[in-house]
Amino acid sequence: MTRGLPRRTVLAVLAGAVAVVALGWALLAALLERDLANEIAAVRRQNETLTLALEEHTARTLRSVDQVLRFIAFEYLDHPDKIELDEFAAAGLLEDELIRLVAVADARGRIVASSRATAATSIAGRAYFAHHREHGDAGVLLSAPSEGLVADLPSIPVSRRISRPDGSFAGVVVVKLNPEYFAAYYGRLDIGNAGVLQLVGTDGIARVRRAGAVTTIGQDMRQSTLMREQAKQASGSYVSTGRLENVPRYIAYRTLADYGLIVAVGTSQQDALASFGRQRLAYQLGGAASALLVLLGSAAALAAVDRRRRVRYDQLREESRLRATFDEAGVGIAHVDLEGMVLKVNPRLCELLGYPASHLVGRAFTDFKFVEDREGAERERLNLLAARGSRHVEARYRHRNAGILWVSLSVATVCDPEGKPEYFVAMAQDITASKAAQQQVEHQATHDLLTGLPNRALFHDRLGHALRQAKRRGSAAAVMFLDLDRFKQVNDRLGHAAGDALLREVATRLAASLRSGDTAARVGGDEFAVVLSEVAQAEDAAAVARRILEAMAAPMSLGGATHSITVSLGIATYPADGHDLDGLVRSADAAMFEAKRAGRNAYRFYRAAPAAALAAREPA
């Protein structure tokens, strides 16, 4: 009878086998923990990239809406009885897909203008109207979704206070945004079967929320995890318990402080970890097989090789997906190191700047800005590095061939898992065309359309600036009022076309007669005004007045005939003739009428006179 193996040997073999199996399972647990952490980190990076894109899209949309609000408020103040919002819609200033309605309400809340027919006649009961009336100029206000004004369709009110020049309340201009505009944009983004995209107010009310394929508007989220996390810090990520749809998710969010909004992107844990679940099952099966066949080292080696291959495959697939997102993005993207040097660019950024990637990589990102903008950009970089957050600005860059390039630029700090900054991600959207349109609108709002000179509003602004500067320096300033002599006769005899041509010629001659720091403006039909910002003595203003009279005396061609025009000019100086804007304007106006009484084609300095004498004014 053959003896069995010694007890000591059997125990040693068993102990060795147990040790090998235990070591194998410990290694397997460590690999699973590492792979799970990598998978979660990749999902969070993807969510943060989508959140940046949503933040940029939302901010750009609301900036364009605020430009519409500002422009309509200005037009209403300038022409309260003539504003026709349907004309703005016909001119293409109101984007149909985004804006359902624009309305202007006076100081009592009565709707005085609307871009489309509405049964409502007042918004006095709306919370945003009361907010603007009671809080002064608080900027743009984006309220919770509501019904009304637009055939009971849900809409998102965006409003701005209308303030008179003295700061008093003149009413409210409100834009009703179509929530489906945001829902349509969100619908183009792939968030999986149970993902979530959210645009939520800091008041806890969702403006638009898409969970899977379902879009909701106005959902109350004040008790949600998102609002608790946002109260702790403006931007970040967390794991949601999924109370609303009973779907646990990885959530990333960012706050648009200027608009009181939060954008959030969530990927369900089930979708995010589907690949890892398959990988974990394979690991566990491999571990069980290794425990049973520990003596077959080859099988264990093959299982290890197979595990490594699958991990590498998943990593390559993730890298390929991120690379495709980077390369195919519709906006310019650059990775910039903490010193401001370009590490990597996508094709769209090369197209925007007109340079190949080889010319951009390794250069300072600020090298492609205008020289006068570089100092401010460097300060922004240092501030961004210190805050470890994000910045949204409009910036000028130099295109290789086409000159100036305006972009909407978003820059965010990317940190490692320990919170240490690693590099910046810069996203650039070409806004050159919209910037040009904006500048044109701003120019038209502050300049006379016929002559191109500053209008009354800009004249008051320039005069106010000159007076503040003179007060600080203890120096003098002057204002002139000019009125064309017998201009009505030119209109009656030659027609309005000739009258317009004459006004344009007068504007040209007036501007050419002034010094470089002075301002000429058209403030009425045939009335012009001049701001002289640097006046050492009265003779300085008189010298300018004589140049103006001499320039106007030269004959001009109107309607095929030679015609001459003269002007009457009044001068008031600061501080002798007035200590504020209104006082100087009244004094200059009085002096101009003195020049008319003196026989026209002359200038006069203001001199105090009884009110009865000032009332006896002669016609132009």
| Arithmetic mean of pLDDT, 596-620 | 69
315 and 425 together in one domain: no
User: pLDDT digits over 277-324, tens only?
Assistant: 777 787 778 778 877 877 665 555 545 545 666 655 555 565 555 565
What is the CATH number for 416? 3.30.450.20
Does 261 fall in a domain? no
pLDDT value, residue 490: 78
User: pLDDT digits over 33-71, tens only?
Assistant: 887 888 888 888 888 888 888 888 888 888 888 888 888
Secondary structure percentages of the chain, helix, strand, coil, to 5: 45, 25, 25
425 and 507 together in one domain: no
Does 221 fall in a domain? no
- Could you say which of 434, 458, 473 is where a domain stops? 434
- Distance in angstroms (rounded) separating the CA atoms of residues 95 and 93: 6
pLDDT value, residue 551: 92
- Distance in angstroms (rounded) separating the CA atoms of residues 302 and 296: 10
pLDDT bin (cut points 50, 70, 90) of residue 111 is very high
- Could you say which of 311, 327, 343 is where a domain stops? 327
Does 564 fall in a domain? yes
- Distance in angstroms (rounded) separating the CA atoms of residues 61 and 258: 13
Does 90 fall in a domain? no
Does 381 fall in a domain? yes
Instruction: Calculate the average pLDDT of the chain.
Output: 83
pLDDT value, residue 557: 82
Q: Is 68 helix (H, G, I), strand (E, B) or coil?
A: helix
321 and 335 together in one domain: no
Of residues 290 and 200, more confidently modeled: 200
Q: Is 372 helix (H, G, I), strand (E, B) or coil?
A: helix
pLDDT value, residue 24: 75
Say what percent of the chain tops pLDDT 90. 25
311 and 345 together in one domain: no
425 and 455 together in one domain: no
Q: Is 206 helix (H, G, I), strand (E, B) or coil?
A: strand
Return the minimum-mean-pLDDT range out of 174-183, 537-546, 578-587: 174-183
430 and 472 together in one domain: no
Question: Which of 402-406, 411-415, 442-446, 544-548 has the highest mean predicted lDDT (pLDDT)?
Answer: 544-548
For this structure, is 526 an active site residue? Answer: yes
User: In 217-341, which ranges are E strands?
Assistant: 236-240, 249-256, 261-268, 332-336
- Check whether 161 has a pLDDT greater than 90: yes
Burial letters 183-212, b for 16+ CB under 10 A, else e: bebbeeeebeebbbbbbbbbebbbbbbbbe
For residue 450, give Cα distances in angstroms to 372, 454, 492. 33, 11, 19
pLDDT value, residue 614: 44
Going by the DSSP 8-state scheme, the letter that residue 35 receives in this structure is H
Neighbours of 335 (CB within 10 A): 17
pLDDT value, residue 283: 76
| Arithmetic mean of pLDDT, 209-231 | 87
- Distance in angstroms (rounded) separating the CA atoms of residues 421 and 98: 37
pLDDT bin (cut points 50, 70, 90) of residue 29 is confident
423 and 542 together in one domain: no
591 and 469 together in one domain: yes
Count how many domains the chain has: 3
Of residues 106 and 372, more confidently modeled: 106
- Distance in angstroms (rounded) separating the CA atoms of residues 199 and 563: 65
322 and 333 together in one domain: no
pLDDT value, residue 119: 76
Return the minimum-mean-pLDDT range out of 18-22, 219-223, 501-505: 18-22
pLDDT bin (cut points 50, 70, 90) of residue 93 is low
609 and 540 together in one domain: yes
| Arithmetic mean of pLDDT, 238-258 | 87
pLDDT bin (cut points 50, 70, 90) of residue 613 is very low
540 and 471 together in one domain: yes
Return the minimum-mean-pLDDT range out of 117-126, 163-172, 473-482, 527-536: 117-126
Does 36 fall in a domain? yes
- Could you say which of 309, 327, 345 is where a domain stops? 327
pLDDT value, residue 354: 82
User: pLDDT digits over 228-242, tens only?
Assistant: 999 999 999 999 887
Q: Please tell me the total number of residues recorded for the chain in this structure.
A: 620
pLDDT value, residue 352: 82
467 and 528 together in one domain: yes
Q: What is the CA radius of gyration of the chain?
A: 35
Phi, psi of 379 (to 5 degrees): -65, -40
pLDDT bin (cut points 50, 70, 90) of residue 409 is confident
**CA nearest neighbour of 467 among 582, 590, 574:** 574
Pick the catalytic residue from 66, 448, 483, 526: 526
pLDDT bin (cut points 50, 70, 90) of residue 616 is very low
Phi, psi of 239 (to 5 degrees): -100, 120
Does 420 fall in a domain? yes
pLDDT value, residue 293: 77
Q: In which domain, by residue range, is 24 found?
A: 7-46+273-327
Neighbours of 494 (CB within 10 A): 17
What is the CATH number for 452? 3.30.70.270
pLDDT value, residue 510: 94
pLDDT value, residue 610: 40
- Check whether 143 has a pLDDT greater than 50: yes
pLDDT value, residue 615: 46
Does 262 fall in a domain? no
Q: Does pTM top 0.75 for this prediction?
A: no
